[in-house]
Amino acid sequence: MKYIDFEYNINNDFDIDIWSKKATRAYTDLHAINREKMNGWLDIEKIIKNEDIEIIKNLANEVKENAEVLIVVGIGGSFLGAKAGIDFLSDYYNFDKKIEIIFVGNSLSEKYLMDTIKYVEDKNVYINVISKSGGTMEPAIAFRVFKNLLEKKYGDKAKERIIVTTTKGKGLLYEIAKKNNYRKLFIPENIGGRYSVLTTVGIFPIACAGFNVKKILEAAKEMQEDLLDLNFKKNIALQYAALRNYLYSTGKDIEVFSSFTPNMRYFLEWLKQLYGESECKQNMGIFPASLIFSTDLHSMGQLMQEGKRNIFETFVSINKENVENNLYLEEDKDDIDKLNYLINNNINEINKIAKNGTKKAHLEGQVPIIEIKIEKQDEKTLGAMFYFFQYSCAISGYILGVDPFNQPGVEKYKSEIKRLLEKK
Ligand code: PA5
């Protein structure tokens, strides 16, 4: 499949006939449910129209011209997708002196808020506050803090620097935006938080970070079309969803997402939210975890190799990281560190060998391995990956027999924390 390759080695009897039938039934469930259910993200062209992309691009250009920092306020699906996408596409350091994107409202750490205030106080700032419901506690608190900061800094002009992403006509945030005349971007009602990265929720911050969002959406659309193919052997989203459920049925109830590329950390965090919140309900579901290698091989590698055998591992591997030139080890005349034998391999090749060695070791340790392989870290690959994982997650939920679009557990904690705060 374009953009993504897929392979697996699960050391086990996976009956393709049985599981392809289950996946096909899930496919029918996903496409059959009506619009009020939350499958609005399925059709990329309906999520964001070309004219919306122009509005987003113009607004992003204004932000880039007038701000050194964009503060993105949001939590869960209103945070992780944008962070995952920006990290995936960015260099590790801000070489190009691009606008800095800072995320707040995803914790209630006083120190984090205070330090962020201190950091942005003397900088030119815009805010993008994102909440579909418009009433989530953590972002609401952070928004009030940073809105006040902007009002102190810019007076009446503060309102020109605040962009609200929320549901049209609903919720407290919409009311605030209307009253203060803030500019607004809307989230379609039939798309839930963790499936919203390809809407204004993820696309606007990613555009502000300087990336080509049109390409992201184009590739997501291409992936959408590819995944309409009901041929199980060709449809890797159906295969991946079926494999996960098969492994779960054999007692593997933890999926570890692994990557050998550090700036994939938040992509894996996004995956954890997507799968955990979509599937883990009614006392069922695979616990999603994530590891970044080599770092975590030296902390969790032991558990992966020899801990309780209830794990399977999904590698998300990049063939070639975003480097202009390859880095080779130079020959050392003394070779005391005994590394001269590596001088003909660049670091990326050595990293790939490390990955293959890790895969082999984990497989020998009875960890079934799935691998999602991408060629590079660019906008098109990112769009395709976002769509691929959302799609396979929804299919996977239907195979398991849960509604992948609700989150009663999250709502429970939200109302409990609100009740306690109100009591106080
Ligand atoms: O996937 C979900 O629905 C949740 O994780 C939400 O994104 C999260 O709770 C934030 O909600 P809201 O955007 O309404 O503030």
Q: Ligand 1 atom closest to Cα of 273? A: 5
Q: Establish whether residue 259 lines the binding site of ligand 1, counting it when its CB lies within 6 angstroms of any ligand atom.
A: no
Catalytic choice (269, 277, 279, 313): 277
Helix (H, G, I), strand (E, B) or coil at 70: strand
CB 239 within 8 A of CB 232: yes
Active-site residue 157, yes or no?
A: no
Residue ranges for the chain with pLDDT beneath 50: none
Pairing of strands 125-130, 69-73: parallel
Find the 309 Cα to ligand 1 centroid distance in Å. Answer: 33
Find the 161 Cα to ligand 1 centroid distance in Å. Answer: 24
Angle at alpha carbon of residue 313, lines to 311 and 319, rounded to 5° = 170
What confidence tens digit (pLDDT) does each residue in 403-413 have?
999 888 777 77
State the pLDDT at residue 417.
79
Q: Where are the alpha helices (DSSP H) in 229-346?
A: 236-249, 265-279, 301-306
382 Cβ contact list (under 8 Å, min separation 6): 85, 88, 89, 216, 219
Catalytic choice (97, 298, 333, 423): 298
Query: What's the full length of the chain, in residues?
Result: 424
Q: Ligand 1 atom closest to Cα of 195? A: 1
Find the 162 Cα to ligand 1 centroid distance in Å. Answer: 20
Q: Where are the alpha helices (DSSP H) in 67-184?
A: 80-89, 110-120, 137-154, 172-180
Q: What is the pTM of this model?
A: 0.96
Find the 132 Cα to ligand 1 centroid distance in Å. Answer: 7
Closest protein CA for atom 15 of ligand 1: 131
Residue 343 CA to residue 340 CA, distance in Å, equals 5
State the pLDDT at residue 324.
85
Q: Establish whether residue 161 lines the binding site of ligand 1, counting it when its CB lies within 6 angstroms of any ligand atom.
A: no
Active-site residue 46, yes or no?
A: no
270-273 long-range contacts (CB < 8 A, ≥24 apart) are: 270/80, 270/81, 270/83, 270/84, 270/197, 271/316, 271/389, 273/76, 273/77, 273/80, 273/194
The structure tokens 């790939």 sit at: 352
Active-site residue 31, yes or no?
A: no
Q: Establish whether residue 141 lines the binding site of ligand 1, counting it when its CB lies within 6 angstroms of any ligand atom.
A: no
Find the 129 Cα to ligand 1 centroid distance in Å. Answer: 13
Domain positions in the chain are 4-34+218-329+337-402, 40-211
Q: Where are the alpha helices (DSSP H) in 313-423?
A: 347-364, 379-400, 408-423
Sign of torsion over alpha carbons 45, 50, 51, 54: positive
Tell me which fold the domain 4-34+218-329+337-402 belongs to: Rossmann fold (3.40.50)
By most ligand atoms within 8 Å of CB, the mutation choice from 41, 128, 194 for ligand 1 is 194
- Which contiguous run of DSSP H or E holds residue 203? helix 200-208
> One fold for both 4-34+218-329+337-402 and 40-211?
yes
Q: Establish whether residue 39 lines the binding site of ligand 1, counting it when its CB lies within 6 angstroms of any ligand atom.
A: no
CATH 3.40.50.1100 fits 40-211, yes or no: no
Closest protein CA for atom 12 of ligand 1: 131
98 Cβ contact list (under 8 Å, min separation 6): 64, 209, 210
State the pLDDT at residue 314.
98
The token pair that represents 215 in the structure block: 């390409």
State the pLDDT at residue 316.
98
Closest protein CA for atom 8 of ligand 1: 76
CB 82 within 8 A of CB 206: yes
DSSP conformation class of 346: B
State the pLDDT at residue 34.
62
Alpha carbon dihedral 320, 326, 329, 331, in 10-degree steps, equals 140
Find the 76 Cα to ligand 1 centroid distance in Å. Answer: 5
What confidence tens digit (pLDDT) does each residue in 131-190 have?
999 999 999 999 999 999 999 999 999 999 999 999 999 999 999 999 999 999 999 999
CB 91 within 8 A of CB 97: no
State the pLDDT at residue 38.
81
Q: Which residues pair with 311 in a beta bridge?
A: 254
The Cβ-side half-sphere exposure at 260, using a 13 Å CA radius, reads 23
